[in-house]
């Protein structure tokens, strides 16, 4: 039972077609756990700071006579911003002005006595201390586009003078639950630490927010399209990008069991995909077209070739075939055609590489045909017996396959 559940989990993950935005911001991040850190339950609890002043500054005995001169927020914000296009993550702490002013009152004398040491911590401007925002920039080295995305980033803080103090700072950012795991590793084990941040999700850059996306294709010259139900489910409005122009779609019908959706666009496409009149067979050469990882990877249609490995899908689903090529998030809803350019199946899901490689699934064209007929649409079935050359198949797919996204 556990093995079965394990496979379900990884199959469902591959169904998530949340495309990458180019910019994400997580703000009001507070430490909820981690080694050497007291966990906090909220941003408000984390952000309270107390500044004490002494009746006799510099007199250690004054510790007994300290008084609180400020109690309130230390930060205006604590941000992790992720720039996918530049492959960077910036960690930024923005300090509260009132907190800075009270810190100024406490430390101005110290800065005058120890100016060089002071400059390490503060910036002096006309005898006014200004705390520098603490800013760290990490390089993204891995992105996993599952359920909103896992972004991994790191930077190395090298110290030639003290090599034992050289640190590697690593971040693991879960954009699905807005959580950041921060780790510092050093040759000196006592300098290693972990922090777990819980954050709010800030606004993404204008026009660059999360979008559910996938692939669709034309099935006739009347503007009818096929894609997966999970690509458009929950969308108030779906659009397609067809030769660099956006078009709104109308949702005609869905089948959640088959995971199919029928749409219509007010245009006559340059070409469309007809249906094969033959049953699929094992080891048959097939071609898949789509937009894996959405437009994050690029806006160019990706075309790959593979073979049918089984005439049944996941858990003996006879409405599906199994293919030996990768179906990544964003490929969902794309056409799988034969060497004649005729539809064999509709890409629907793929197993995660954590389970295995080269096992993906498509909905048979016969199941798509039945779905269309219940919606009073007869698919175009070609009776040609000859194969098209690669150039013609590529052109057909380019002119009939579209990027579809949800707003």
pLDDT for 220 beyond 60? yes
Beta bridge partners of 217: 226, 401
Collapsing DSSP to helix, strand or coil, 279 comes out as coil
Nearest to 152 by CA among 138, 139, 142: 142
Residue 1 lies in a domain: no
Q: Is 177 helix (H, G, I), strand (E, B) or coil?
A: coil
Residue where a domain stops, chosen among 201, 218, 234:
201
pLDDT tens digits, residue range 115-165? 666 665 555 443 444 444 566 677 766 554 433 467 888 877 665 655 666
pLDDT band at residue 103 using 50, 70 and 90 as cut-offs: confident
* 196 and 229 share one domain: no
pTM above 0.85, yes or no: no
Structure confidence by residue, pLDDT tens digits, 239-263: 999 998 999 999 999 998 999 999 9
Residue 365 pLDDT exceeds 90: yes
Residues 195, 215, single domain; the answer is: no
Residue 300 lies in a domain: yes
pLDDT in tens, 28-85: 999 888 865 568 889 999 999 888 765 444 555 545 556 788 888 998 889 888 876 5
Verify that 264 and 118 share a domain, yes or no.
no
Q: Are residues 89 and 161 in the same domain?
A: yes
Q: Considering its fold, how many domains does the chain have in total?
A: 2
pLDDT at 218 over 50: yes
Q: Could you tell me if residue 11 is inside a domain?
A: no
Same domain, 108 and 216: no
Average the pLDDT over each of 175-184, 276-285, 320-329, 352-361 and give the range with the smallest value: 352-361
More reliable by pLDDT, 343 or 201: 343
Domain end (from 201, 236, 257): 201
Does residue 7 have a pLDDT over 70? no
Domain boundary (143, 178, 201) is at 201
Q: Is residue 277 in a domain?
A: yes
Do 186 and 281 share a domain, yes or no?
no
Q: Do residue 352 and residue 402 come from a single domain?
A: yes
What H or E segment, with its residue span, contains residue 357? none
Give the domain extent around 368: 210-406
CATH classification of the domain holding 255? 2.40.10.120
Q: Are residues 49 and 139 in the same domain?
A: yes
Can you tell me the distance from the alpha carbon of 216 to that of 231, in angstroms, rounded to the nearest whole number? 9
Instruction: Tell me: do 197 and 224 sit in the same domain.
Output: no
Q: Is 251 exposed, middle or buried (0-12, 13-18, 19+ CB in 10 A)?
A: middle
Query: Do 132 and 266 belong to one domain?
Result: no
Residue 3: inside a domain: no
pLDDT 10s digits, 378-387? 888 766 556 6
pLDDT in tens, 201-211: 765 433 334 45
For residue 4, tell me if it sits in a domain.
no
DSSP 292-341: TTGGGT-SSPEEEEEEEEESS-GGG-TTEEEESS---TTTTT-EEE-TTS
Q: What angle is formed at CA 382 by the lines to CA 377 and CA 387, rounded to 5 degrees?
A: 145
More confident residue, 325 or 117: 325
Own/partner long-range contacts of 179-182 (Cβ < 8 Å, ≥24 apart): 180/26, 180/29, 180/80, 182/34
246 inside domain? yes
One domain, residues 217 and 188: no
Residue 125 pLDDT:
40
């Amino acid at each position: 039972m556990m093995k079965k559940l394990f496979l379900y989990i990884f199959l469902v993950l591959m169904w998530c077609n949340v495309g990458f935005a180019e910019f994400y911001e997580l703000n009001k991040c507070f430490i909820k756990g981690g080694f050497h850190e007291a966990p906090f339950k909220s941003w408000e609890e984390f952000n309270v700071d107390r500044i004490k002043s002494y009746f006799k500054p510099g007199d250690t005995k004054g510790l007994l006579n300290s008084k609180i001169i400020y109690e309130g927020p230390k930060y205006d914000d604590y941000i992790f911003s992720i720039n996918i296009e530049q492959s960077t993550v910036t960690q930024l702490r923005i300090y509260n002005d009132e907190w800075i002013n009270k810190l100024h009152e406490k430390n101005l004398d110290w800065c005058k006595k120890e100016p060089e040491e002071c400059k390490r911590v503060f910036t002096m401007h006309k005898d006014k201390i200004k705390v520098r925002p603490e800013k760290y920039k990490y390089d993204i080295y891995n992105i996993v586009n599952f359920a909103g995305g896992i972004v991994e980033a790191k930077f190395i803080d090298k110290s030639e003078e003290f090599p034992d103090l050289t640190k590697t700072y690593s971040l693991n950012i879960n954009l699905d639950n807005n959580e950041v795991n921060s780790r510092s590793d050093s040759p000196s084990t006592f300098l290693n630490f972990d922090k777990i941040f819980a954050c709010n999700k800030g606004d993404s850059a204008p026009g660059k927010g999360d979008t559910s996306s996938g692939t669709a294709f034309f099935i006739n010259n009347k503007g009818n399209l096929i894609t997966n139900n999970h690509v458009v489910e929950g969308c108030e409005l779906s659009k397609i990008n067809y030769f660099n122009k956006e078009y709104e779609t109308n949702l005609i019908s869905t089948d959640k069991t088959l995971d199919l959706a029928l749409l219509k666009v007010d245009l006559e496409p340059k070409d469309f995909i007809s249906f094969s009149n033959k049953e699929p067979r094992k080891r048959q050469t097939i071609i898949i077209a789509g937009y894996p990882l959405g437009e994050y990877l690029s806006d160019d249609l990706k075309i790959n070739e593979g073979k049918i490995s089984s005439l049944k899908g996941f858990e003996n689903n006879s409405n599906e075939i199994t293919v030996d090529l990768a179906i990544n998030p964003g490929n969902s809803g794309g056409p799988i055609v034969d060497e004649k350019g005729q539809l064999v199946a509709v890409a629907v899901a793929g197993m995660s590489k954590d389970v295995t490689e080269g096992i993906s699934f498509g909905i048979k064209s016969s199941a798509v045909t039945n779905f269309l007929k219940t919606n009073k649409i007869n698919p175009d079935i070609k009776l040609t017996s000859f194969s098209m050359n690669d150039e013609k198949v590529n052109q057909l797919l380019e002119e009939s396959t579209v990027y579809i996204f949800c707003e």
